[in-house]
Structure formats: C-alpha cells, structure tokens
Amino acid sequence: MKKILILIIAFFLFTGIISAQVKTAPKKQNTKPTTAAPKPKHTTVKKPIFEPEQKVEITTNYGVIVVKLYNETPLHRDNFVKLVKEGFYDSLLFHRVIKSFMIQGGDPNSKYADSSAMLGNGDVGYKVPGEFNRDLFHKRGALAAARDNNPERASSGCQFYIVHGKKFTQQELEQILNSRNMNNKQSILYSCYQRDTIQAAIYQIQQSGDKELLRAYMANLQKIVDKMYTDQYPDAEKVNLDQIGVYINEGGAPHLDASYTVFGEVISGMEVVDKIADQPKGNADRPIENIRMRMRLLP
C-alpha cells in the first residue's frame, strides 16, 4: 500500500508541478547565409536620442511641489501626463496623510466630498500594469502609484502618493528584506497548494494516515517551491548598497519596494510635503483641513 501511495504522489508531483515548468526548447536555426551578403558601401551609426524627463508642477495650499516622471516607467508616465493635461487632478484632495510615511491623493470622489466622507476608493475605471524597476525605489520624495490588493500588483489609474518617509537602521532594512522574501515564497507555496494535483496527493496521504509519508511529501514540495522562488526572484538576496545608504541617511519607505510602482520623484518642494505631512488629521488619516491640488505640465 505504501509503495502504491509513493507512486501516486510521484505522479502527481511530477505532472502537477515540474512538467508545468518545462519549456520546449527552441528549434535550432540555420545561421549560415545561403549566399554571401554584399558589403554595405557606407554605414551610418545613429546616436541614441536623449528623451528629457517630463516635469509636473503640483500647487497646494502650502506651496508648490515639482516632480519629474521617469522614462523607465512609460505606462505610468503617459497616463499621469494624460490626466494632468485633462485637468483631472485640479481641486482634488490629498485625502490620506501619514507623517514619516506618505501623502496620498488623486481620488476623484474627493473633489466635492464633505468633511465626513470616507475617501480612497475612487478611480477612473482602469488599472495601469505594474512597472517594477530595481533602480527605482521608495526613497524620500519618491512619486508612486497607489493600488488595491490585486495579485498582479497593477496600479490605480489615478491615485498616487509621495513618500515622506523616515530613516532606517541597517538591522531594520535586513528585517524588511527577509520579511519580503518570506512573503514571496509563501505566496508561491500557497499557489502550489491550490492545484488540484497537489490537493489530490495530500488527500491520498491523509487518508492513509501515514504521517512520515506526509512529512516527506511536504519536504519535497518545499524543495520545488524553493526552486520556483529562485527562478521567479533571481535577485531576491541581492542588496543595493547605494539604496541602503539612502534609506539610512535620507529615509524612505523600503517595505513598499517591488510591490508598488515608483514612477517619479520630487525635485523641488519637499518642504511642502513636510508641511502637508504635519497637518492634523481626523478619521482614516484624512487631514481635518482640506488640502487641494492643481497640476500643470512644465516645459
């Protein structure tokens, strides 16, 4: 009976997980030309065109903030520019403010909201696919897109936040990195548990009452998850010393990295962000006094 169960488990394990990861090898192409190509008489090498970063001016009750939008996140850049051109953000509120963390705005429902309204759920009816870049991180002054808990980590079509941030110790940063890696690994493990083949194999073992066999099965499953995790997050254990230095010396919100898209940064007016972050708040971290915004593109 035990041998039969082992065969069943092996079948489930290899057909349900491992085979799903096997990619068909591409066919070899004949790289030899059938006839010799004529040599070009003249070749001109075009220099790459530098694309300047778009700047946006955000006027508030407490002064002016200027942000630049990263070209490395073109979907978020173009969407933000489109909304600014349309005047979408004009008269909206910074509806959620948390000192040492961030100031958030862009909820269309905030334009005419009364003082008791709960804000943060308004949107434009679409999401922007996440654009994650290890070099763009949640340093103090970072401009990033808010989102709900969708598994694709797609961004809200309009809500954004500016990182106010705080300084971190090296030990705190190590704990954040370890926690992030653990959560990512658990997410992969959970997705494996949801597969019908895995559920069937576990059920068969549980029915047999063989606890030793169940432990062995779970240990093998964990090894497969570890391999999937390494393939999906090849740079998970790497750290950027420059970024660590920024978080230690200047501050930010490192626990949001690789989870929310950073698509710009403040280039002037951080003192305005500081003033907004200092304002008294009521329910749901909404400032007691309305803090409105107006935006325009800068040349």
pLDDT at position 254, please?
Answer: 97
Burial 112-128 (b: 16+ CB within 10 A, else e): ebeeeeebbebbeeebb
| 196, amino acid identity | D
pLDDT at position 298, please?
Answer: 98
Distance of alpha carbon 292 from alpha carbon 82, whole angstroms = 20
201: left (phi over 0), alpha (psi -120 to 50) or beta: alpha
User: What are 295's two structure tokens?
Assistant: 């935006």
pLDDT at position 50, please?
Answer: 65
DSSP annotation string for 117-184: ---S----S-EE-----TTS--BTTEEEE---S-TT-PEESS-EEEE--B---HHHHHHHHHHHHHHH
Q: What is the pLDDT of residues 33-61, one digit of tens each?
A: 333 444 444 444 444 456 899 999 999 99
Distance of alpha carbon 8 from alpha carbon 201, whole angstroms = 7
Low-confidence ranges of the chain (pLDDT < 70): 1-50
- Cβ neighbours for 271, distance < 8 A, ≥ 6 positions apart: 63
pLDDT at position 139, please?
Answer: 98
Q: Is 263 in contact with 76 (CB distance < 8 Å)?
A: yes
- Cβ neighbours for 166, distance < 8 A, ≥ 6 positions apart: 100, 101, 251, 252
| 198, amino acid identity | I
Distance of alpha carbon 24 from alpha carbon 37, whole angstroms = 32
Name the one residue in this structure whose structure tokens are 């192409």: 29
pLDDT at position 18, please?
Answer: 42
CATH class of 55-167+251-298: mainly beta
* 58 secondary structure, DSSP code: E
Please report, for the chain, the start and end positions of each structural domain, with discontinuous segments joined by +.
55-167+251-298, 172-232
pLDDT at position 239, please?
Answer: 76
Does pTM top 0.85 for this prediction?
no
Q: Is 113 in contact with 94 (CB distance < 8 Å)?
A: no
pLDDT at position 49, please?
Answer: 54
E-strand ranges in the chain read: 55-60, 63-69, 94-98, 102-105, 127-128, 142-145, 155-156, 160-163, 262-268, 293-298
Q: Is 165 in contact with 139 (CB distance < 8 Å)?
A: yes
